[in-house]
């Protein structure tokens, strides 16, 4: 099991509301609760619906998709340790304890695709 990122919202959404909100943005919610995003090489899972949206990213592309997904759902992307993943001026940042660390430019990460992080 990897490190979880979750979409936090003021008010929870039901399964049908999630599907309705994410579909126009190009995401797909499968009956199993899996949320997928498309890239040139096909659909890739980025999160799961478990009474909230939770993902265990294995690439910067998946983090970028989760940031985009959280915006579509009107929420914030939070890590297990309370850090916040944001998009500011086209750049994805990880904010923790008042410090911000740049992950990369959103457009470049999306274009590069879902190459896995090397372990």
Q: What is the pLDDT of residues 83-101, one digit of tens each?
A: 999 999 999 999 999 899 9
Domain that holds residue 103: 5-112
Residue 62 belongs to a domain: yes
Residue 119 belongs to a domain: no
Q: Which helix (H) or strand (E) segment is 74 a member of?
A: none
Q: Indicate the number of domains in the chain.
A: 1
Q: Would you say residue 2 has pLDDT above 80?
A: no
Cα separation, 69 vs 37, in Å, equals: 10
Residue 103 belongs to a domain: yes
pTM of the model: 0.92
Strands (E), the chain: 5-8, 28-29, 34-39, 42-49, 53-55, 76-79, 84-88, 91-96, 99-105
Starting at the edge strand found earlier in the chain, the sheet holding 5-8 runs 28-29, 34-39, 42-49, 53-55, 5-8, 76-79, 84-88, 91-96, 99-105
Instruction: Report helix, strand or coil for 23.
Output: helix
pLDDT tens per residue across span 40-54: 878 899 999 988 899
Provide the percentage of residues in the chain whose pLDDT is more than 90: 71
């Amino acid at each position: 099991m990897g490190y979880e990122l979750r979409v936090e919202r003021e008010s929870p959404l039901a399964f049908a509301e999630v599907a309705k909100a994410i579909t126009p943005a190009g995401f797909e919610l499968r009956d199993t609760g899996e949320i997928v995003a498309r890239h040139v090489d096909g659909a890739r899972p980025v999160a799961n619906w478990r009474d909230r949206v939770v993902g265990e990213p294995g690439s910067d592309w998946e983090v970028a998709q989760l940031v985009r997904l959280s915006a579509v759902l009107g929420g914030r992307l939070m890590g297990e340790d309370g850090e916040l993943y944001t998009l500011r001026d086209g750049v994805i940042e990880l904010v923790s304890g008042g410090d911000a660390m740049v992950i990369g430019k959103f457009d470049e990460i999306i274009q590069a695709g879902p190459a896995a992080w090397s372990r």
